Amino acid sequence: MFTSLSDRLSETFKNLRGKGRLSEADIDATVREIRRALLDADVAVAVVREFTSRVKERALGSEVSQALNPGQQVVKIVNDELVRILGGNTRRLNLAKNPPTVIMLAGLQGAGKTTLAGKMAKWLKGQGHSPVLVACDLQRPNAVKQLQVNGERAQVPVFAPHPGVSSEFEASTGDPVAVAAEGIEYAKQKLHDIVIVDTAGRLGVDAELMQQAADIRAAIQPDEVLFVIDAMIGQDAVNTALAFNEGVDFTGVVLSKLDGDTRGGAALSVAHVTGKPIMFASTGEGIGDFEQFHPDRMANRILDMGDVLSLIEQVEATWDKGEAARMQKKFEDQEDFNLEDFLAQMQQIRKMGSMKKMLMMMPGAAQMRQQLEQFDEKEIDRVEAIVRSMTKHERVAPKIINGSRRARIAKGAGVSVSAVNALLERFAQAQKMMRKMAQGQGGAIPGMGGHGPGKRKQQPAKSKKAAKQKPKTLAERRALERGEIPGAPKQQSGSSFGAQAGEFDPSQLSLPKGFEKYLDKN
């Protein structure tokens, strides 16, 4: 998303780096490039004019002329203005004091209302709510069936007393206003705290569409009316949003298809022109690709500053806390990281969704966009197939995997032997790194044990008396072996390790906890 706009702005700001003072000509050139970038992104002309005039006014003011780094100060000004036109603060749902909270979705046909209704229901369920979907789109063919499928995917009930139409040649006979009112009563009976009403759309704005939407709103008195808009339609989004705002008076905007080849014009125009905040965004085709819209974080993404907070929230929402606690205990006990643990971590990563999306949230990700685009998401599947083709003993003790075992594993996973070799080499490096971190040699992980960054357990210092007893001549060494020097330790016979045969004690060795089960006790 916003790829073209982000690249153009990043290229513009490169010309400001290293300049101790910015002249008026520098600022004019920068504002001119920003204007071109916004217009190419299909942002509304009125928004572009206001945006660039405010940036220029602030850039020529004292906040830049007195700054230690004028170039960075200009970037900050652009970031502030982007946040402002995107809505300023994060706008959250207004929940009803007496449940259920009623949310009505409105928009043109093809904007993605029905799909988005399922995504929103799943997101709200993850927030601890009990939503229900109400099918009021009775005129689009199979719209009711599509909502029921999305409800199954989100594991949310769907209220659909009327089947709708199955063909464009079939006339609609149901009353969407009555269905909406019945859906509210159904939610009260079944104790659902949120109702999401999916309404019909048209290919264009017309009087019949607006009248139906207005009638549904009057009948159910929704707490939120969300206008769903395709983020790919550019400046035309402004005209559509203004028409719906006048006819339905929506309370918030939801951007759909934000993962597509979008130039960002809709997102940067709608909130500012209508005065209604962008509240949510659909970021993919999956049922879980739905997120709260944060203007400040979106501005950071546009300027390639990353969105680490959203990344952390995504990890926290999907990461298994029980698995994390198990791994922490393993670190504390200094047990070796094996392929069973590696497989468990891979499964955790798969739950978080697309690796490309997560990596693109990191600061400076735009600079390696080409490498990220070439990243194969199926590589994780291939790695998991290789590990699952191993026996349990091979996963715990990968050193026993010889040539014949590698050939068998490669055949079972459907990959080449070289792919198995490469995985085992990478795992050996990861295992060594984990071992060092657990022992505190490579920088301890908070809460994972270890002795701090670069610290090791201090060895007991040798006493001066012991240092004086160090034999220097052949006679002194022989006397030391006979035990004639007072305080010198007598060497035991019968073993090269100083112990009698049959008296070997594994506890005297500095082995990781849990390793003794692999020793032969016979």
Cβ neighbours of residue 426 closer than 8 Å, sequence gap 6 or more: none
Ligand-binding site membership of 283 (annotated)? no
Cβ neighbours of residue 109 closer than 8 Å, sequence gap 6 or more: 140, 200, 201, 202, 203
Ligand-binding site membership of 61 (annotated)? no
Ligand-binding site membership of 200 (annotated)? yes
Contact 448, 438 (CB under 8 A): yes
Peptide bond into 100 cis (omega under 30): yes
Ligand-binding site membership of 21 (annotated)? no
Ligand-binding site membership of 299 (annotated)? no
Sign of the Cα pseudo-torsion (481, 484, 489, 494, in order): positive
Ligand-binding site membership of 268 (annotated)? no
| Distance (Å, whole) CA 154 – CA 157 | 9
Ligand-binding site membership of 310 (annotated)? no
Ligand-binding site membership of 241 (annotated)? no
Q: Which two tokens stand for residue 182?
A: 């019945």
| Distance (Å, whole) CA 227 – CA 249 | 9
Ligand-binding site membership of 276 (annotated)? no
| Distance (Å, whole) CA 128 – CA 140 | 32
Ligand-binding site membership of 258 (annotated)? yes
Ligand-binding site membership of 111 (annotated)? yes
**At CA 414, angle to CA 409 and CA 420, rounded to 5?**
45
Ligand-binding site membership of 259 (annotated)? yes
Ligand-binding site membership of 199 (annotated)? yes
Ligand-binding site membership of 53 (annotated)? no
Contact 407, 417 (CB under 8 A): yes
Ligand-binding site membership of 109 (annotated)? yes
Ligand-binding site membership of 114 (annotated)? yes
Contact 59, 26 (CB under 8 A): no
Q: Which two tokens stand for residue 232?
A: 């790919």
| Distance (Å, whole) CA 207 – CA 204 | 10
Q: Which two tokens stand for residue 25?
A: 């000509």
SS3 for 282?
Answer: strand
Query: Rounded to 5 degrees, what are φ and ψ at 133?
Result: -100, 140
Ligand-binding site membership of 198 (annotated)? yes
| Residue numbers belonging to the annotated binding site for GTP | 107-114, 198-202, 256-259
- Residues belonging to the binding site are 107-114, 198-202, 256-259
